[in-house]
Amino acid sequence: MSETTDIVSATASSVSAIAAIVAAVGVWYARGQLKTSREIAQLQFEDALGKEYRELATRLKPKAMLGEELSEQEYQEAFDELFHYIDLSNEQVSLRQRGRISLEVWKSWRTGIGNNLALPAFARAWAEIKEKSSSFHELRRFESEGQKCDPADWR
């Protein structure tokens, strides 16, 4: 009887050990899946903002995007889109500040924001917006700290 009890006890211990290993592997796998899901969601979020920028850029006059001067009428016609670009840029800076945008994507965006704001039509719109509005705090800070800043460090 003692021998049978030992066998049952050993078998139970083995089954418990195997179950613990299977559970650990399951937790490890689930963790990996969760990490992958988060990464995919992050990429989709960043891609959606990139798409929003591209759609906005297609509505702007190519002259504005190429850095050419706009006539007064062209500027007035483009102002709404320029305003939307300023607003999107402010949101991008804010999202990086809140840790919602990866460093790799931020490096690309900060260059684009800096380059676009230096273009005549964008610079004029941004100057006008700053004068008339007290909003856009994140973009103002980005501008004052320079193109190499990382808003994630502002937290």
CB within 8 A of 80, min separation 6: which ones? none
Type of residue numbered 17: A
Tell me the pLDDT tens digit for each residue of 12-53. Answer: 888 888 888 888 888 888 887 877 888 888 888 888 888 999
Query: Domain spans of the chain?
Result: 1-42, 60-154
pLDDT band at 1 (very low <50, low <70, confident <90, very high): low
**CB neighbours of residue 96 within 10 Å:** 25
Give the predicted TM-score (pTM) of the model: 0.79
**What DSSP string runs through 88-119?**
HHHHHHHHHHTT-S-HHHHHHHHHHHHHHHHS
